[in-house]
Chains A and B, each alone.
Chain A
Amino acid sequence: MNMLKGRVGLIMLGTALLILPFVLGMAGTAWVRITNFAVLYVLLSLGLNIVVGYAGLLDLGYIAFFAVGAYVYALLASPHFGIHLPFWIILPIGAFVACIAGMVLGAPTLRLRGDYLAIVTLGFGEIVRIFMNNLSNPINITNGPKGVNLIDPFHIGPINFAKTDTFAGLDVSGPIKYYYFLLVVLMVVIVINRRLQDSRIGRAWVAIREDEMAAKAAGINTRNIKLLAFAMGASFGGISGGMFAAIQGFVSPESFILNESIMVLAMVVLGGMGNIWGVVAGAIVLAFVPEVLRYTVEPAQMALFGRTLVEPEVLRMLIFGSALVLTMRFRPAGFWPETRHKREFIEPAEK
């Protein structure tokens, strides 16, 4: 009975997700794009969840791996170097390069925890961005602040993700195609996350988060297992970055500022660290709310006062900030916490 209910729910959710882009498309293609970026944020949050939620390593520079993936894609599929590899080759390369970057970050920081780790990772994120900004001299690798333009869209056989195709009388725009692609990637990433969570490695991550010294004494090679968390998280970031570059058609260092790292961290924490569905929900909410505000704040003020009193951007950040503060005040473990964290935050500490 319960299983039947679950299955019906799943089918309904699946159907909703399948027709969603067409419904959104009626409100304008912009909303499909916004949805795509929201899914990218979900992917990023799930990657960061491994590092922060499972292994308990506070990483404030996570967007660097997104940047690495995006630049790998941009450089291997654009006129910049005249290289045009297909996406299914570049995405794994991007994941691999990001994974290496994750280990480069991880290796020297393994002895650090908490605040110290946060500061070093924050620095790492900025260093990567500054590199992207300056690697145009003496050899032009990244094209500096101007960024890389005219990035190839995905191609699957004859289907070009930058163009609208008509399938069975249905117009399928580029963003809609990306949407379906992202949906498939998202499902794969969720399955991977769940399987990792209930595995020998996943338990070792949580053990390190809970008590590193006890984890060591219980026989866990904490150095390797932490590196693995950084590497896995970074790989997810790299794949997401590659898709971002293709969807956007353009990358520049500006997209990878500290604010973005903080945003992704906020998604993980707000939704509920360590709980996959919490993280997914947190990312969706935080990705959509600002966009909804962006589209409603100005028209609403025009209708009410006949002019714009508060810039949408200002109000957006104000509401956004207050929401975060209130959440942390009233639901400190996030909206949908991992049961473990929930108890940890809500019960008074014993001992």
Chain B
Amino acid sequence: MTSTLLEARGVGKRFGGVQALKDVSITINQGEIYGLIGPNGAGKTTFFNVLTGLYPRDGGEVLFAGKPLNLSSPHEVAKAGIARTFQNIRLFGNMTSLENVMVGRHVRTHAGVVGAILRSRSEREEEDAIRRRAEELLHYVGVADRANDLARHLSYGDQRRLEIARALATEPKLLALDEPAAGMNATETAALRVLIEGVRNDGLTVLLIEHDVKLVMGLCDRVAVLEYGEKIAEDVPAVVRADPKVIEAYIGTSAH
């Protein structure tokens, strides 16, 4: 019996004259890898931005783990258990890799100013735990050897992995990845695939935006297709791939 983790109902978003999302409804099940594909400009990133509270929405609502998400507060979305990466990597460039991941622990920890100033025992223990967890996650994604380097000095592929580690540090139920393979070579993409599968095997649910159709079709349990802000298909990869509307959408824009 599968249970629903996330249910988006009628989500809409308009930028001036552009209807970036039109009445988008999707359902993501617990423990699956759910792909979101579509041509450039279809609204995939916008969906992430609305879902994580970074852009105000024009309509619709999202139920997460049975409760309505407060979409006007990004940190509450993170607290509820949705973590994301960005299509154009957004790390804290002048912090070390380790610090980047430690920041991800913020939402699950409590030390305040007084604790920090007094270095109370509980604060020190929490700080140690934050550091240990961050180190584990750097190992997990495979950038432990760059722990003390500034994030901006990491290679492109390592930066993408580091961003995933930072997202995982928030202890999400749903990990949302916006084109994680963009700019990666074949080896890096293969390693990324192993990483994403590992995340799922550890019990997380993954929402994956990806341009690399082969990667999506091979990895995802179900796939939704957006075109001009509208969902035109949602099913298992084999069915979606054969859907004439989807083929049309991709052929229509395959020039890029």
Q: Does B associate with A?
A: yes
Tell me, rounded to whole Å, the shortest Cβ–Cβ distance linking A226 to chain B.
12
Check if A155 is an interface residue, CB within 8 A of chain B: no
Which of B95, B126, B169 is within 8 Å of A340, CB to CB?
B95
Which of B103, B115, B126, B130 is within 8 Å of A220, CB to CB?
B103
Whether A200 contacts B127 by the Cβ 8 Å rule is yes
Whether B86 contacts A232 by the Cβ 8 Å rule is no
Tell me, rounded to whole Å, the shortest Cβ–Cβ distance linking A51 to chain B.
14
Residues of B contacting A202 in the complex (Cβ-Cβ under 8 angstroms): 116
* Interface positions of B from 122 to 156, Cβ below 8 Å from A: 123, 126-127, 130, 150, 152
Tell me the complex Cα distance, A195–B112, Å.
11
Whether B104 contacts A232 by the Cβ 8 Å rule is no
Whether A196 contacts B79 by the Cβ 8 Å rule is no
Check if A247 is an interface residue, CB within 8 A of chain B: no
Tell me the complex Cα distance, A83–B74, Å.
48
Contacts between the two chains (Cβ within 8 Å), count: 108
Check if B170 is an interface residue, CB within 8 A of chain A: yes
Tell me, rounded to whole Å, the shortest Cβ–Cβ distance linking A211 to chain B.
5
Q: Mark A203-215, 1 if CB is under 8 A from B, else 0.
A: 1101100110111
Tell me, rounded to whole Å, the shortest Cβ–Cβ distance linking B48 to chain A.
9
Whether B152 contacts A206 by the Cβ 8 Å rule is no
Whether B126 contacts A200 by the Cβ 8 Å rule is yes
Whether A207 contacts B103 by the Cβ 8 Å rule is yes
Q: Which residue of B lies closest to A208 (CB)?
A: B92
Tell me, rounded to whole Å, the shortest Cβ–Cβ distance linking B30 to chain A.
21
Which of A192, A198, A200, A211 is within 8 Å of B106, CB to CB?
A200
Check if A331 is an interface residue, CB within 8 A of chain B: no
Q: Given A213-B90, A218-B166, A222-B75 in contact, is the A203-B106 Cβ separation under 8 Å?
A: yes
Whether A196 contacts B103 by the Cβ 8 Å rule is no
Tell me the complex Cα distance, A28–B94, Å.
46
Whether A220 contacts B119 by the Cβ 8 Å rule is no
Whether B111 contacts A214 by the Cβ 8 Å rule is no
Whether B54 contacts A340 by the Cβ 8 Å rule is no
Tell me the complex Cα distance, A207–B113, Å.
16
Which B residues fall within an 8 A CB radius of A?
Answer: 52-54, 74-75, 78-79, 83-84, 86, 90-95, 99, 102-109, 111-113, 115-117, 119, 123, 126-127, 130, 150, 152, 166-167, 169-170
Closest 7 CB pairs of A and B: A219-B107, A219-B78, A199-B116, A340-B94, A210-B92, A216-B74, A214-B90
Q: A218-B78, A218-B107, A221-B75 are in contact. List 20 more A-B contacts (CB 8 A).
A: A195-B116, A196-B113, A196-B116, A199-B111, A200-B126, A201-B116, A203-B103, A204-B106, A207-B92, A207-B106, A210-B94, A216-B54, A217-B78, A217-B84, A217-B86, A218-B103, A218-B169, A219-B75, A220-B106, A343-B150
